[in-house]
């Protein structure tokens, strides 16, 4: 008689779980990808005509830019700039942040620039004490540090980026996370001919900003790393889009944004070709802050450039319904991304940090 009783008990527990809305996650790997400072205006509308036609600050001929990125229809125009986002992510996943459709995505920190944004998306809180990019070691435990403490994920959480400050943001000295960014992008343990060439290219290349590598360099590093290491939680931070906007080069911003789109698509293709990741991986693609608008303020961001708090979020994976571009939905905050990363893997980050913003996943479900 014990077996039927145990069966009834198990069925009862299952019924309680289902009635509470519990559902097992299919996601086993989460990749959060950030293109630094990439505006929602380009994501949702494509190239902006007055900036594209700027013959003074753009070094590329307007005719060439128009051939690559211009179409009168903004929906077609954005596809030219972001073919993977609109050809794959929008069809298989969801996008938030188009104000024209009543979808608002924004930061909740009061500063609207990089370090506060990266802290917010990774720790789940907006910390007003972090008020400059040169802040130093992050006092907040990020979701990455916390997930790396979980037995099933220990040693499988990794950070890659172009910006050397990621070492401070993810506090690798305390968290013991693998952080390869800035001048540590080269793997010193890789003595293969390809690894030696990679190191030589990095040491001899002209760096636009400090020791930070270009996005293409970072992308190759991530691709090579995935071939021999199989992380379960991965952060990838591209930086060229922010650099070119600060320099006022809209032509290179368009090229950089188009390249990032191809990098995201390439990583998706690579991971879907690997049995460790196929059908079990969720991608989240976003930015750390917005920017101003108009002929000058598009270059900068911060509280002096209105609109710099507005961001966008794209998400695609086995636990995200294919609802495409969302409209008339509850506002999304950058701080929600930390709990979302954990939630996708079946962990509740808010049990550890109650002050963290809630997961975004309930907002990805169809409206009842």
The predicted-structure confidence for 148-194, as pLDDT tens digits, reads as follows 999 999 999 999 999 999 999 999 999 999 999 999 999 988 899 99
Q: Has residue 114 got a pLDDT over 80?
A: yes
pLDDT band at residue 17 under the 50/70/90 scheme? very low
- The answer to whether position 168 is within a domain reads yes
pLDDT at 84: 98
- Is residue 137 within 8 A of residue 168, CB to CB? The reply is yes
- The answer to whether position 8 is within a domain reads no
- The answer to whether position 24 is within a domain reads no
295 exposed, middle or buried (CB, 10 Å; 0-12, 13-18, 19+)? exposed
**What's the N-to-C CA distance of the chain in angstroms?**
43
- The answer to whether position 15 is within a domain reads no
- The answer to whether position 25 is within a domain reads no
SS3 161: strand
Beta bridge partners of 235: 32, 159
- The answer to whether position 324 is within a domain reads yes
CA angle 345, 349, 350 (to 5 degrees): 140
- Is residue 165 within 8 A of residue 214, CB to CB? The reply is no
Q: For the chain, give the mean pLDDT.
A: 93
272-283 mean pLDDT: 98
* DSSP for 278-345, written as a single string: TTSEEEEEE-S-----HHHHTT--STTSTTTTB--EEEESTTS---EE--S---EETTHHHHHHHHHT
Among the listed ranges 123-137, 158-172, 198-212, 227-241, which one has the minimum average pLDDT value? Answer: 198-212
C-alpha R_g of the chain: 21
- The answer to whether position 355 is within a domain reads yes
Q: What is the tally of structural domains in the chain?
A: 1
CATH code at 236? 3.40.720.10
Q: Has residue 141 got a pLDDT over 70?
A: yes
Which tokens go with 147?
């997930």
pLDDT at 97: 98
Range of the domain at 253: 31-364
pLDDT, one tens digit per residue, over 55-98 is 999 999 999 999 999 999 999 999 999 999 999 999 999 999 99
- The answer to whether position 240 is within a domain reads yes
Q: Has residue 8 got a pLDDT over 70?
A: no
The whole-angstrom separation of Cα 293 and Cα 41 is: 9
- Is residue 112 within 8 A of residue 301, CB to CB? The reply is yes
The whole-angstrom separation of Cα 327 and Cα 116 is: 27
Q: Where are the beta strands (DSSP E) in 113-204?
A: 157-161, 178-181
- Considering the entire predicted model, what is its pTM? 0.93
Query: Which one-letter DSSP state was computed for residue 49?
Result: H
């Amino acid at each position: 008689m014990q077996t039927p009783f145990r069966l009834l008990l198990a069925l009862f527990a299952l019924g309680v779980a289902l009635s509470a809305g519990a559902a097992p996650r299919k996601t086993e790997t989460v990749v959060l990808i950030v293109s630094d400072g990439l505006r929602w205006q380009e994501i949702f509308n494509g190239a902006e005509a007055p900036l594209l036609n700027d013959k003074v600050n753009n070094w590329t001929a307007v005719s060439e830019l128009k051939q690559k990125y211009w179409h009168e229809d903004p929906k077609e125009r954005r596809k030219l700039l972001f073919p993977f986002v609109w050809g794959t992510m929008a069809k298989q996943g969801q996008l938030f942040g188009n104000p024209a459709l009543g979808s608002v995505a924004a930061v909740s920190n009061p500063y609207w620039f990089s370090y506060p944004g990266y802290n917010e998306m990774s720790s789940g809180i907006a910390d007003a004490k972090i008020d400059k990019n040169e802040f130093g070691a992050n006092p907040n435990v990020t979701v990455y540090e916390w997930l790396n403490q979980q037995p099933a994920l220990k040693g499988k959480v990794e950070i890659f980026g172009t910006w050397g400050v990621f070492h401070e943001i993810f506090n690798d000295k305390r968290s013991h996370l693998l952080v390869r960014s800035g001048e540590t992008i080269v793997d010193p343990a890789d003595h293969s001919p390809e690894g030696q060439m990679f190191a030589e290219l990095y040491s001899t290349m002209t760096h636009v900003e400090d020791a930070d590598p270009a996005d293409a360099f970072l992308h190759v590093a991530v691709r090579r790393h995935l071939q021999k290491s199989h992380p379960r939680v991965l952060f990838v931070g591209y930086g060229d889009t922010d650099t070119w906007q600060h320099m006022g080069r809209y032509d290179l911003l368009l090229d950089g944004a188009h390249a990032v789109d191809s990098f995201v698509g390439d990583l998706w293709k690579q991971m879907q070709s690997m049995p460790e990741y196929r059908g079990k991986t969720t991608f989240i693609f976003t930015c750390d802050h917005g920017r101003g608008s108009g002929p000058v303020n598009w270059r900068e961001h911060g509280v002096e450039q209105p609109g710099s708090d507005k961001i966008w979020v794209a998400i695609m994976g086995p636990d995200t319904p294919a609802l495409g571009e969302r409209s008339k939905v509850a506002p999304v905050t950058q701080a929600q991304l930390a709990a979302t990363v954990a939630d996708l893997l079946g962990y509740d980050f808010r049990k550890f940090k109650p002050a963290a913003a809630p997961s975004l996943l309930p907002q990805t479900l169809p409206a009842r």
